């Protein structure tokens, strides 16, 4: 009890030692938590970005599948044609008529608007549906709508209240000139020429063996002759990059191919 | 007392370290677990997308194998692999499966076809006549596409759930046919078949896709022994005036059916041809009498030639009295040809009645000899045809220089239908503006008739060029 060596051992660390230890711990812990905090912030913005891109990818997949299934049942399945709502007169509905020319007289289909005519599930209903994808002018939300085919203009039918619902957010294909130049400052290869990028580009079936890009297909440049639909979706994430503060975008490409005959 | 304090002191220090360590570990664990969960979610989302796309294309591969192997000219034609696997006409509930198992599995029990009963009614598959054949997708032990089976069967209104003839009744037993433009219940045209493919990926993703297909026949019917297209002026030879020569429009396989021996496409041509076709008795056919006809069977089929059904585009017409129409016909036959040759030296390509071929010859074609059986099919020649003996039957189209010549004075026969049209200048080969005057040059007439119409040989020569998909759909499950 009176042994001074024993007392010294029992006293533990000196105040100085404790302070040094605490300071070292603070430095190490501080560094670790700062890094962790940065990583967590980065993770949060990245997961938001991923969610945007994932939504866009699922949207693209659905468009491709709808294009693949377009035009069922075709008119060739009937020796006596039934009521117009029971068969797909053309795989892609045209407005104001199926004989309009894409890029000139068609209100739909065009660069940001496509109406697919098909029966999505013939076993549940014999009625053919119109599936419309539209990026309204001045908007960045791609809309999708499904409605039963009726005896009226497909654009008017799908424009009824409640038919079109938001489908993919932050679609920048038809962004304003200011937005495009801001994006091109970060991604110089996007938006060639600074012009909006069509979501839908069409290839038309012709009387020859080679399908042509619809605008060059002359008399075949009509909705009923669309064979392939090339889809380009440019989607901007809701969050900016955590480190640079710049916008984050992704460009997705897909191609839908019609297998049903065009008449 | 002091020993107790010492122990307490030591315990207290250990506890702080442990607490800090545990809390730090906890924090890091929470972050790590949330990262793993988020990453797992991303993986499964993109995995679903990939599986769905893979299954779609695997099922498409199955559809295409089924559709492709229906075609007789396919090297893996069903009936070549297994005789009579697909008869000329399937009856209701004749069901054929192409199976593509992984290892030793029985795909029809492992992945039962419930879709058939959905289409045809409960219990239909149990009462069906089922035959199976192995897929050609796996090659030399390397696994092919991941479809499990492909079903081929005839269809009814009920099975496709469509009222084809507009009678408001879905007929469950009458099989559907395709007449080139529409399905029908009147057995008009060719039988429509359904091709259904099931793909199952190792992760369990399934997809069923379905085609309705019908054969497309390269249909070319010229109802005359010899059809001379264009303006025959009489400047070139046509036939032979010896007693031993003859052209007959009497259908060889159905003598009651009489066609023109020689058909022209304009009144002037018919007049000029009539002047050449002497004696009249050597040209029997429609308009003739029981005995030797008093006048040669020559007539105009201009109306039929001006509205000739486009062989590849049902519902459209070709005007074969014009250069454009003839050239269109040539390009369509060329696109369907089994062989394209510069001459006819390779006779092995010329087919036979049991396996007729479509051959395009871009230059002159010299045919001779008496092969047994003779070559058969559709022979399109852009240069001159040199012909002797009995080397070929079926349909010969000399569209180009438009000349058919007997190349030696020997017994010579041809059964079927011969079409002559001059679309190019025979010496310069420059394109003409309107069809010129064709040539049928004969050295010696022996074995009358030398050229005779035969509708059976012509029908037999017309190949199935493809099984066209009439519709496609994905069957939701």
* Average pLDDT value for residue range A186-201: 93
What pLDDT shows up at residue B444? 82
ipTM over 0.85: no
Considering the domain architecture, whether residues B275 and B186 belong to the same structural domain is answered as no
What pLDDT shows up at residue A124? 85
Neighbouring-strand partners of residue A117: A130
**Residue predicted with more confidence, B323 or B20:** B323
Considering the domain architecture, whether residues B166 and B260 belong to the same structural domain is answered as no
- Tally of CB atoms within 10 A around A175: 20
Give residue A1's pLDDT band: very low, low, confident or very high (50, 70, 90): very low
Measured CB to CB, residues of chain A less than 8 Å from chain B are 1, 10, 12, 25, 29, 32, 36, 39-40, 43, 47, 50, 54, 57-58, 61, 65, 68-69, 71-82, 86, 119-123, 126, 207, 209, 259-261
Whether B256 has a pLDDT exceeding 80, the answer reads yes
Whether B169 has a pLDDT exceeding 90, the answer reads yes
Placement of tokens 């078949």 in the chain = B193
Considering the domain architecture, whether residues B180 and B253 belong to the same structural domain is answered as no
pLDDT tens-digit series, residues A114-153: 999 999 988 888 999 999 999 999 999 999 999 999 999 9
Q: Where are the beta strands (DSSP E) in B118-179?
A: 129-134, 147-154, 177-178
Pairing label, strands B451-453, A113-118: unpaired
pLDDT tens-digit series, residues B178-204: 988 899 999 998 999 999 999 999 988
pLDDT tens-digit series, residues B383-404: 999 999 999 999 999 999 999 9
Give residue A246's pLDDT band: very low, low, confident or very high (50, 70, 90): confident
**C-alpha span between A67 and A70 (Å, rounded):** 5
**C-alpha span between B421 and B397 (Å, rounded):** 8
Q: Are B298 and B164 in contact (CB under 8 A)?
A: no
Q: With contacts defined as CB-CB under 8 Å, which chain B residues touch A81?
A: 166
B70 found inside a domain: no
On the 0-12 / 13-18 / 19+ scale of CB atoms within 10 A, B427 is exposed
* Average pLDDT value for residue range B407-413: 91
What pLDDT shows up at residue A171? 95
Considering the domain architecture, whether residues B153 and B249 belong to the same structural domain is answered as no
What pLDDT shows up at residue A5? 52
pLDDT tens-digit series, residues A156-169: 999 999 999 999 99
Per the prediction, chain B carries an average pLDDT of 89
What pLDDT shows up at residue B291? 63
Q: Which of A213-217, B56-60, B234-238, B288-292 has the lowest mean pLDDT?
A: B288-292
CB contact under 8 A, B49 and A75: no
In the sheet that holds B183-184, the strands lie side by side as B183-184, B177-178, B190-191
Considering the domain architecture, whether residues B332 and B382 belong to the same structural domain is answered as yes
Q: Are B245 and B237 in contact (CB under 8 A)?
A: no
Considering the domain architecture, whether residues B241 and B132 belong to the same structural domain is answered as no
**C-alpha span between B223 and A105 (Å, rounded):** 46
What pLDDT shows up at residue B164? 94
**C-alpha span between B231 and B228 (Å, rounded):** 8
Test the B interface: residue of A26, A65, A205, A259 with most B CBs within 10 Å: A259
For residue B336, what are the domain limits? 224-461
pLDDT tens-digit series, residues B221-240: 998 999 999 989 988 899 88
What pLDDT shows up at residue B397? 96
Selection from B343, B463, B323 nearest residue B400 by Cα: B323
**Residue predicted with more confidence, B91 or A40:** B91
**C-alpha span between B36 and B24 (Å, rounded):** 18
Whether B1 has a pLDDT exceeding 50, the answer reads no
**Residue predicted with more confidence, B336 or B342:** B342
**Nearest-by-CA chain B residue for A67:** B473
Give residue A11's pLDDT band: very low, low, confident or very high (50, 70, 90): low
Shortest distance, CA B69 to any CA of chain A (angstroms): 19
Percent of chain B with pLDDT over 70: 94
Considering the domain architecture, whether residues B321 and B253 belong to the same structural domain is answered as yes
pLDDT tens-digit series, residues B57-102: 999 999 999 999 999 888 899 999 999 999 989 999 999 999 999 8
Percent of chain A with pLDDT over 70: 94
**Nearest-by-CA chain B residue for A87:** B162
Q: With contacts defined as CB-CB under 8 Å, which chain A residues touch B27?
A: 36
Quote the number of domains for chain B.
Answer: 2
For A76, the closest of B182, B185, B313 (CB atoms) is B182
* Average pLDDT value for residue range A210-217: 89
Per the prediction, chain A carries an average pLDDT of 89
B281 found inside a domain: yes
What pLDDT shows up at residue B341? 95
Neighbouring-strand partners of residue B358: B378
Give residue A32's pLDDT band: very low, low, confident or very high (50, 70, 90): confident
B64 found inside a domain: no
CB contact under 8 A, A74 and B471: yes
Considering the domain architecture, whether residues B135 and B111 belong to the same structural domain is answered as yes
B457 found inside a domain: yes
Considering the domain architecture, whether residues B253 and B311 belong to the same structural domain is answered as yes
What pLDDT shows up at residue B318? 94
Q: Are A163 and A147 in contact (CB under 8 A)?
A: yes
Considering the domain architecture, whether residues B102 and B189 belong to the same structural domain is answered as yes
On the 0-12 / 13-18 / 19+ scale of CB atoms within 10 A, B26 is exposed
Considering the domain architecture, whether residues B138 and B236 belong to the same structural domain is answered as no
What pLDDT shows up at residue B425? 93
CB contact under 8 A, A122 and B166: no
Considering the domain architecture, whether residues B240 and B136 belong to the same structural domain is answered as no
Give residue A54's pLDDT band: very low, low, confident or very high (50, 70, 90): confident
What pLDDT shows up at residue B414? 95
B9 found inside a domain: no
- Tally of CB atoms within 10 A around A37: 10
* Average pLDDT value for residue range B408-412: 90
CB contact under 8 A, B313 and A207: yes
């Amino acid at each position: 009890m009176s042994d001074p060596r024993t007392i010294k051992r029992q006293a533990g660390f000196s105040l100085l030692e404790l302070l040094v230890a605490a300071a070292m711990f603070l430095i190490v812990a501080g560094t670790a938590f700062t890094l962790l905090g940065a990583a967590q912030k980065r993770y949060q913005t990245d997961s938001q970005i991923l969610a945007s891109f994932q939504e866009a990818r699922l949207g693209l997949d659905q468009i491709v599948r709808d294009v693949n299934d377009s035009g069922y049942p075709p008119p060739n399945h009937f020796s006596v044609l039934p009521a117009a709502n029971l068969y797909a007169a053309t795989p892609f509905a045209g407005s104001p008529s199926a004989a309009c020319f894409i890029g000139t007289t068609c209100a739909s289909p065009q660069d940001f608007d496509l109406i697919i005519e098909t029966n999505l599930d013939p076993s549940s209903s014999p009625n053919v549906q119109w599936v419309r994808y539209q990026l309204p002018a001045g908007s960045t939300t791609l809309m999708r709508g499904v409605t039963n085919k009726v005896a009226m203009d497909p654009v008017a039918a799908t424009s009824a209240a409640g038919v079109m619902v938001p489908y993919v957010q932050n679609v920048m294909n038809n962004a304003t000139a200011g937005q495009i130049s801001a994006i091109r400052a970060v991604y110089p290869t996007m938006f060639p020429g600074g012009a909006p990028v069509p979501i839908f580009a069409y290839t038309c079936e012709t009387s020859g063996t080679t399908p042509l890009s619809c605008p060059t297909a002359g008399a075949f440049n009509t909705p009923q002759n669309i064979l392939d639909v090339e889809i380009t979706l440019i989607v901007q994430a809701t969050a900016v990059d955590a480190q640079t503060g710049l916008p984050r975008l992704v460009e997705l490409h897909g191609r839908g191919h019609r297998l049903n005959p065009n008449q | 007392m002091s020993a107790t304090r010492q122990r307490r002191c030591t315990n207290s220090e250990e506890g702080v370290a442990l607490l800090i360590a545990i809390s730090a570990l906890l924090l890091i664990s929470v972050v790590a677990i949330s990262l793993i969960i988020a990453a797992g979610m991303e993986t499964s989302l993109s995995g679903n997308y990939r599986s769905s796309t893979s299954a779609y294309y695997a099922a498409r591969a199955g559809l295409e194998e089924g559709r492709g192997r229906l075609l007789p000219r396919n090297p893996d034609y069903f009936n070549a692999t297994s005789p009579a696997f697909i008869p000329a006409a399937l009856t209701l509930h004749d069901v054929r499966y192409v199976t593509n198992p992984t290892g030793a599995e029985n795909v029809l029990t492992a992945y039962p076809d419930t879709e058939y009963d959905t289409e045809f009614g409960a219990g239909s598959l149990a009462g069906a006549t089922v035959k199976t054949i192995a897929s050609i997708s796996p090659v030399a032990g390397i696994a092919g596409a991941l479809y499990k089976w492909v079903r081929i069967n005839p269809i009814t209104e009920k099975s496709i759930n469509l009222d084809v003839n507009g009678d408001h009744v879905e007929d469950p037993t009458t099989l559907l046919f395709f007449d080139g433009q529409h399905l029908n219940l009147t057995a008009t045209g060719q039988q429509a078949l359904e091709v259904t493919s099931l793909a199952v990926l190792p992760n369990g993703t399934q997809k069923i896709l379905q085609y309705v297909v019908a054969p497309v026949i390269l249909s070319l019917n010229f109802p005359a022994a010899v059809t001379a297209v264009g303006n025959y002026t009489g400047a070139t030879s046509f036939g032979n005036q010896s007693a031993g020569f003859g052209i007959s429009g009497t259908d060889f396989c159905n003598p009651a059916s009489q066609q023109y021996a020689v058909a022209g496409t304009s009144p002037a041509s018919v007049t000029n041809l009539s002047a050449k076709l002497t004696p009249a008795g050597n040209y029997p056919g429609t308009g003739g009498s029981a005995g030797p006809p008093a006048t040669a069977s020559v007539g105009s089929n201009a109306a039929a030639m001006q509205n000739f059904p486009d062989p590849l585009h049902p519902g459209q017409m070709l005007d074969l009295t014009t250069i454009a129409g003839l050239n269109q016909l040539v390009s369509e036959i060329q696109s369907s040809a089994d062989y394209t040759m510069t001459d006819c030296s390779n006779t092995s390509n010329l087919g036979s009645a049991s396996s007729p071929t479509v051959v395009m010859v871009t230059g002159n074609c010299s045919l001779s000899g008496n092969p047994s059986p003779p070559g058969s099919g559709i022979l399109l020649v852009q240069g001159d045809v040199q012909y002797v003996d009995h080397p070929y039957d079926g349909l010969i189209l000399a569209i180009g220089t438009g000349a058919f010549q007997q190349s030696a004075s020997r017994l010579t026969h041809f059964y079927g239908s011969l079409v002559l049209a001059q679309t190019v200048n025979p010496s310069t080969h420059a394109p003409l503006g309107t069809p010129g005057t064709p040539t049928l040059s004969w050295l010696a007439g022996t074995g009358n008739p030398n050229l005779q119409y035969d509708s059976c040989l012509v029908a037999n020569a017309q190949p199935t060029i493809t099984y066209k998909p009439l519709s496609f759909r994905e069957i939701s499950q």
